[in-house]
Structure 1
Amino acid sequence: LVKIIVDVAVATIAYFFIGYPLAHKVCFIKPAADLVADQGFELVRFFFLLTFAACISAIVSGGVAERMKFKPYTTAGFFLAGVIYPIFEALIWGERWSPAFQGWVEKTFGAPIHDFAGSMVVHGLGGWIALPAILVLGPRMGRYIRGKSKPIPISNIPYLALGSWILIIGWFGFNVMSSQSIETISGLVAVNSLLATAGGLIGGVLFGKNDPGFIHNGALAGLVAICTGSDIVNPIGAFIIGLVAAWIFIKAFIWEQEKLKIDDVLGVWPLHGLNGIWGGIAAGIFGQKALWGLGGVSLISQIFGAVLTIVFALVTGFILYKLLDIVFGLRLSEEEEFQGSDLSIHKINAYPEDIFKV
């Protein structure tokens, strides 16, 4: 939790001074009288888009939990919010390169890359950047013993449920306000987000065998996947997108953990990475007028955007975390990891009862 709150501070500084100006050709280092022009719209826009930028390192944190040093983690957060995410944002959304790049995509494939609220630009990018970080770090102590999987139980199911509920509520602001204008707020976005959540929950029940972790994450999988097309797909399509997203998360999480032996603690690669890609492609399918969508989207463009997301994330992720591993060393020592990051980093136990454990 300390990592996440510090992430917010680091991302705010990096995105305010470097990231947002890089993506949108706006500089905030000027007199306040200039900043309040047009009722301070650019400041409000920065405030909203900062939530997207800060998401990247928050996504990564779920995959590298319990074994990563604090200093390289926060350093990575600075570069993610200040450089890596803004470069990709500038290509798809930003004023710096998006007009030329999206114009080329439209000319080549028939439509620009559509990503209304960030299935690919935010979640896909974050999930696929997390994968190199997880691989460079390696699994937690005791997670795999002589090639056999030894699952580490969830520490607190009620907190997992509470976190899922809070995210679901907050996601409506995340998606609906992605229009960035009061005049263009669409009830379709809200209803599609709700139907995708329902699809994800039902999928979690059907495919997750009543496992509470799969059920609550199924809702989040549906929300990740609907971000891209929430403004153009039919609510029935949104439900299907959410249902499929839950199936993808559950099957990929088990495959990742048990077959690939990748210790992705919260399953951020299948949850955000794979479902971010599914959401981008699904918008190209269910956004078509033939399937009661609003149209104006190309499946080929969406597939191109998905491939671009994966390649950009993997390349930048491996470079960033490998360099940080060389410079700082990413991983806690065996003794520190055995003690737990609460005690080894912050010198305090998370729960009072831990003090009395022998």
Structure 2
Amino acid sequence: MDQSQIGGDVFFVLLGAILVFAMHGGFAFLEVGTVRHKNQVNALVKILVDFALSTISYFFVGFAVSYGVTFFVNATILSGSGGGEIFLPQGFTLVKFFFLTTFAAAIPAIISGGIAERMKFQPQCFATVALVALVYPFFEGMVWNGNWGFQSVLENAFGAPFHDFAGSIVVHAVGGWIALSAVIVLGARMGRYTEAGGSHPFPPSSIPWLALGSWLLCIGWFGFNVMSAQSVGGATGLVALNSLMAMVGGIAVAVLAGRNDPGFVHNGALAGLVAVCAGSDVFHPIGALVVGGVAGFLFVKGFSWCQEKLKIDDVLGVWPLHGICGVWGGIACGIFGLEALGGIGGVSLASQIVGSVAGAAYAAVMGFVVYGLLDRTIGLRLSQEEEHRGADLSIHRIGANPEAEIR
């Protein structure tokens, strides 16, 4: 029975890892559809290479920073059959690593959408290694492993630790606020804003590709949230239903607030899912619907505010989507997770505010540190000629439709 249970948990977490891995295809196609045609190949290559570098960085450094576990032992111990206490039977610790790697790799995938169309490839690779090896695991370990006494301090002060079941703050807000810093350091694309202060938006290259990216992310997100229980025994249909309700709430509000704009509609679904991650295990489904709806509204208004008022050229709107909606989700967990509003309870609004603000502030500061250092040393931006030509030809020497372009 024990072996059967462990085998079930291994398969359960492995399936979650595969679903979240598939989400990275969603990140890629969402960016492919949003950027101009001359930058589509770069979007695809960035996400795949970032995933590879993230896995290597997390394997050798990041996982140890977060959880104090290294893989420098023989395969017998790694597989869990060597009698060790750290590596659980049937390789359960290994599939847990795979699952958490897909979360860590989401950080550069999120950032990629904000810095698209004008960043050099090499410094982005360096940034990915630094962020996934050190920056992200430091905060991940504080929240999900109790490192540095962060959770103990909040629990002693406010009666409950910071609750982030599936990463509204740990993954999405951290990625979104790092992206904001990166975009500010990098600067706007050529021609995006006029010298007189006017705005010249660039239309997306493909709405169908954008929509496909959103669909892939939405489907994989149920692995992101439900499988965060990390065991069959801990899984609950409440997380699945809350994720569904938040997603449709984001869509419904985005279609109204965005006046039927397909970009807002497809990102509205993602906004709802970002926001529900933190409290998906404690919300009532009606609460999740409200949280998702508010997130859809925040994305639509936040995107326009960011692009037109603040003149921040965040290409895919990753700061409003992941940064702002992520913080909203963290705080909302302390509101709609309360028993008085139909939630399961065990959360503190004060802890949620402190944890959410701390995550955003930490990410923004570290984003300026990492991208600021890279900008001062090797430089971040393509040359004007390279940017005008497009990242596809300038970096990869091939376009999205090579045969047609040769003709």
Shared fold, TM over 0.5: yes
Aligned residues: 355
Question: Partner residue of 1:48?
Answer: 99
2: CA distance, partners of 1:92 / 1:214: 31
Please report how far the alpha carbon of residue 102 of structure 1 lies from its aligned counterpart in structure 2 after TM superposition.
Answer: 0.9
Please report how far the alpha carbon of residue 194 of structure 1 lies from its aligned counterpart in structure 2 after TM superposition.
Answer: 0.4
Once the two structures are superposed, residues 163-220 of structure 1 have per-residue CA deviations (whole angstroms, 9 ceiling, x without a partner) of 1011100000010000111101010000000000110110111111000000000000
Question: Partner residue of 1:228?
Answer: 278
Once the two structures are superposed, residues 102-152 of structure 1 have per-residue CA deviations (whole angstroms, 9 ceiling, x without a partner) of 111100111100000000000000000001100011000110012110000
The aligned amino acid for 1:336 is E
The aligned amino acid for 2:128 is G
Q: 1:73 aligns with which of 124, 128, 131?
A: 124
Q: 2:215 aligns with which of 152, 162, 165?
A: 165
Q: 2:75 aligns with which of 32, 37, 40?
A: 32
TM-score normalized with structure 2 length:
0.86
2: CA distance, partners of 1:205 / 1:322: 37
Q: 1:277 aligns with which of 327, 331, 355?
A: 327
Once the two structures are superposed, residues 293-313 of structure 1 have per-residue CA deviations (whole angstroms, 9 ceiling, x without a partner) of 000000000000111012101
SS in 2 for 1:148: coil
Question: Partner residue of 1:207?
Answer: 257
Alignment of 1:199-348 (within 5 A): 199-348=249-398
Question: Partner residue of 2:56?
Answer: 13
Please report how far the alpha carbon of residue 352 of structure 1 lies from its aligned counterpart in structure 2 after TM superposition.
Answer: 3.9
SS in 1 for 2:344: coil
2: CA distance, partners of 1:101 / 1:88: 10
2: CA distance, partners of 1:353 / 1:202: 41
2: CA distance, partners of 1:284 / 1:349: 48
TM-score normalized with structure 1 length:
0.97
Q: CA RMSD in A?
A: 1.1
Question: Partner residue of 1:86?
Answer: 137
The aligned amino acid for 1:6 is V
Question: Partner residue of 1:114?
Answer: 163
The aligned amino acid for 2:257 is F
Please report how far the alpha carbon of residue 154 of structure 1 lies from its aligned counterpart in structure 2 after TM superposition.
Answer: 0.6
2: CA distance, partners of 1:153 / 1:348: 22
2: CA distance, partners of 1:109 / 1:212: 42
1: CA distance, partners of 2:158 / 2:383: 50
The aligned amino acid for 1:15 is Y
The aligned amino acid for 1:12 is T
Question: Partner residue of 1:144?
Answer: 193
Question: Partner residue of 1:123?
Answer: 172
SS in 1 for 2:105: helix
Please report how far the alpha carbon of residue 356 of structure 1 lies from its aligned counterpart in structure 2 after TM superposition.
Answer: 6.1
Please report how far the alpha carbon of residue 354 of structure 1 lies from its aligned counterpart in structure 2 after TM superposition.
Answer: 6.9
Structure 2 gap ranges (5+): 1-43, 81-88
2: CA distance, partners of 1:204 / 1:353: 38
What is the percent sequence identity of the aligned residues? 61
SS in 2 for 1:149: coil
2: CA distance, partners of 1:271 / 1:62: 11
Please report how far the alpha carbon of residue 355 of structure 1 lies from its aligned counterpart in structure 2 after TM superposition.
Answer: 2.6
